[in-house]
């Protein structure tokens, strides 16, 4: 009897603890202690915003494949659009760990919402800041930071995804203008974007980056329909048919593939953190469910096979958290290499996808419904595994780094 009571107390206290956000099981190695007060404040503000603005609408938006466009201004108010860029351009000037923590909380809500922030901040604002003229920075960054203006990033083409160096999109000089021709594929936000950061080859076969006003004659951005993943995010093409781009729109400070790949390093870093958020949401749901749901007269969590699943999940989450935190500190010191970013993106997304699958199993039949978030995260993470460099491309980047042999050529 005493034992029974103790078991009940233990079970109840775990249930209670699991209902609280700061349940220590979610931060198994006290990573909290490694964070500054500012970092915690930004993370908690993002978490609160997600709970208030994203969680109540996300299942419906995902089911109906509707992009919750209004959230972009909220992301701007939160400071989640280009948070680590300087205050002079309307940004928060945070460190990279803060940026990562914000992406983690956004993706706890949904990968599509983190995508919206990643694209705007890392793939549109970052190149304008890093490679643009001061005039370009002042013209675009403050409006992009508030979400008043929407940007997209055009690198991938119908015939060139993993290998962007073979891109066919071209610019040809014509007086003070370039004439832009070509097509980009799988572009997040293109159907609703005001501007696009586009990468194209010039007459010397050198890759150049430019800001394209999408209202210009000859630009179109048809939406891609039928996605079974990232359904709360809008994706489209970019088609350029003799578009006249003033030469002042081209980035003066970068030439070559290094330009777009540098932007990818920044966004991949954010994804390495973001994926942890999706993994945590699935783990959290599985832990709660397994404590509540009883079969064979006891909670699912009491069975050894369920405990194995949960133990492996929290172990992988913890390893991913440590990887992301360490990478963030290296980024802040300016010491992170693209190959280190690559490893973290690959590992953490794969980790989250495996957790989503295991968590879905723990929910049994209920796991396939939208009463629980696992299936939605799982479907989203299939995209996250592929974009910003596929899982296998990142394996080859690490392979090249450790062997010195290039498997791409």
Query: Which residues are identified as catalytic?
Result: 388
Least CB distance from residue 238 to ligand TGC, whole Å?
A: 12
Least CB distance from residue 45 to ligand TGC, whole Å?
A: 22
Spatial distance between the Cα atoms of 14 and 17, rounded to a whole number of angstroms = 5
Under a CB-based contact definition with an 8 Å cutoff, are residues 358 and 285 in contact? Answer: no
Say which entry of ligand FAD, ligand TGC, none residue 370 contacts (CB below 5 to 8 A, set by partner kind). none
Q: Is 196 in the site for ligand FAD (CB under 6 A)?
A: no
Q: Is 162 in the site for ligand FAD (CB under 6 A)?
A: yes
Among 75, 106, 119, 331, which residue sits at the site for ligand FAD (rule: CB under 6 A)? 119
Following CA atoms 341, 344, 350, 355 in sequence, which dihedral angle do they give, to the nearest 10 degrees?
Answer: -140
Q: Is 262 in the site for ligand TGC (CB under 6 A)?
A: yes
Q: Quick one: 329 or 390, whose CB is closer to ligand FAD?
A: 390
Q: Is 379 in the site for ligand TGC (CB under 6 A)?
A: no
Q: Which stretch binds ligand FAD (CB under 6 A): 10-18, 153-161, 275-283, 341-349?
A: 153-161
Q: Is 235 in the site for ligand FAD (CB under 6 A)?
A: yes
Under a CB-based contact definition with an 8 Å cutoff, are residues 131 and 137 in contact? Answer: no
Under a CB-based contact definition with an 8 Å cutoff, are residues 237 and 185 in contact? Answer: yes
Q: Quick one: 89 or 186, whose CB is closer to ligand FAD?
A: 186
Report DSSP state, residue 88.
G
356 by DSSP, 3-state: which? Answer: helix
Among 46, 98, 136, 156, which residue sits at the site for ligand TGC (rule: CB under 6 A)? 156
C-alpha of 341 from chain center = 13
Spatial distance between the Cα atoms of 84 and 98, rounded to a whole number of angstroms = 8
Say which entry of ligand TGC, ligand FAD, none residue 73 contacts (CB below 5 to 8 A, set by partner kind). none
Report DSSP state, residue 252.
T
Under a CB-based contact definition with an 8 Å cutoff, are residues 39 and 100 in contact? Answer: no
Following CA atoms 279, 284, 289, 295 in sequence, which dihedral angle do they give, to the nearest 10 degrees?
Answer: 70
Q: Quick one: 94 or 188, whose CB is closer to ligand TGC?
A: 188
Residues composing the chain: 409
Spatial distance between the Cα atoms of 197 and 342, rounded to a whole number of angstroms = 22
Q: Is 158 in the site for ligand TGC (CB under 6 A)?
A: no
Spatial distance between the Cα atoms of 247 and 266, rounded to a whole number of angstroms = 26
* DSSP annotation string for 384-403: HHHTTS-HHHHHHHHHHHHH
Binding characters for ligand TGC, 330-359, by CB under 6 A (x = yes): --------x---------------------
Q: Is 6 in the site for ligand FAD (CB under 6 A)?
A: no
Q: Quick one: 230 or 278, whose CB is closer to ligand FAD?
A: 230
Least CB distance from residue 127 to ligand TGC, whole Å?
A: 12
Q: Is 393 in the site for ligand TGC (CB under 6 A)?
A: yes
Q: Is 329 in the site for ligand TGC (CB under 6 A)?
A: no
- Where does residue 333 rank: exposed (0-12), middle (13-18), buried (19+ CB within 10 A)? exposed
Under a CB-based contact definition with an 8 Å cutoff, are residues 190 and 233 in contact? Answer: no
Q: Is 390 in the site for ligand FAD (CB under 6 A)?
A: yes
Say which entry of ligand TGC, ligand FAD, none residue 118 contacts (CB below 5 to 8 A, set by partner kind). ligand TGC
Q: Which stretch binds ligand TGC (CB under 6 A): 25-33, 55-63, 162-170, 218-226?
A: 162-170
Q: Is 21 in the site for ligand FAD (CB under 6 A)?
A: no
Nearest to 334 by CA among 239, 261, 266, 403: 266
And the tokens for 244?
């006249």
- Find the helix or strand (DSSP H, E) in which 34 lies: none
Q: Which stretch binds ligand TGC (CB under 6 A): 49-57, 152-160, 219-227, 276-284?
A: 152-160
Say which entry of ligand FAD, ligand TGC, none residue 392 contacts (CB below 5 to 8 A, set by partner kind). ligand FAD
Q: Is 154 in the site for ligand TGC (CB under 6 A)?
A: no
C-alpha of 200 from chain center = 24
Q: Is 220 in the site for ligand FAD (CB under 6 A)?
A: no
And the tokens for 280?
């945590």
* DSSP annotation string for 366-378: GGGSTTSSHHHHH
Judged by the rule CB under 6 A, the positions of this chain that interact with ligand TGC are: 115, 118-119, 153, 155-156, 162-165, 188, 256-258, 261-262, 264-265, 267, 338, 387-389, 393, 397, 408
Judged by the rule CB under 6 A, the positions of this chain that interact with ligand FAD are: 119, 152-156, 161-162, 186-188, 230, 235, 383, 386-388, 390, 392-393, 408
């Amino acid at each position: 009897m005493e034992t029974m009571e103790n078991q009940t107390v233990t079970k109840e206290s775990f249930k209670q603890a699991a209902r609280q956000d700061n349940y220590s099981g979610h931060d198994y190695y006290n990573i909290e202690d490694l964070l500054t007060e500012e970092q915690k404040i930004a993370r908690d503000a993002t978490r609160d915003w997600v709970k208030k603005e994203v969680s109540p609408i996300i299942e419906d938006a995902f089911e109906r494949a509707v992009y919750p466009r209004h959230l972009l201004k909220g992301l701007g108010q939160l400071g989640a659009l280009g948070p680590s860029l300087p205050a002079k351009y309307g940004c928060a000037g945070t460190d990279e760990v803060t940026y990562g923590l914000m992406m983690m909380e956004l993706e706890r809500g949904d990968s599509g919402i983190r995508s919206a922030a990643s694209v705007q901040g890392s793939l549109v604002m970052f190149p304008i800041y890093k490679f643009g003229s001061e005039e370009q920075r002042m013209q675009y960054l403050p409006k992009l930071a508030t979400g008043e203006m929407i940007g997209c990033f055009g690198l991938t083409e119908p015939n060139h995804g993993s290998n962007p160096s073979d891109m066919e999109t071209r610019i040809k000089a014509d007086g003070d203008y370039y004439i832009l021709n070509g097509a980009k594929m799988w572009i997040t936000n293109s159907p609703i974007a005001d501007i696009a950061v586009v990468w194209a080859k010039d007459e010397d076969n050198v890759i150049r980056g430019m800001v394209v006003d999408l209202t210009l004659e000859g630009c179109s951005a048809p939406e891609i329909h039928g996605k079974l993943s990232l359904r709360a995010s809008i994706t489209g093409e970019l088609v350029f048919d003799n578009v006249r781009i003033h030469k002042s729109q081209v980035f003066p400070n970068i030439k070559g593939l290094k330009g777009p790949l540098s932007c990818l390093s920044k966004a991949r870093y954010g994804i390495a953190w973001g994926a942890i958020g999706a993994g945590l949401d699935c783990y959290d749901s599985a832990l709660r469910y397994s404590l509540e749901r009883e079969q064979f007269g006891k909670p699912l969590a009491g069975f050894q096979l369920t405990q194995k699943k949960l133990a492996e999940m929290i172990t992988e989450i913890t390893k991913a958290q440590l990887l992301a935190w360490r990478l963030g500190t290296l980024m802040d010191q300016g010491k992170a290499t693209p190959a280190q970013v690559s490893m973290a993106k690959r590992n953490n997304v794969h980790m989250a996808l495996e957790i989503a699958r295991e968590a879905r199993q723990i929910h049994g039949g209920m796991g396939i419904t939208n009463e629980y978030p696992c299936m939605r995260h799982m479907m989203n993470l299939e995209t996250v595994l592929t974009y910003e460099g596929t899982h296998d491309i990142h394996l080859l980047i690490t392979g090249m780094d450790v062997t010195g042999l290039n498997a791409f050529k």
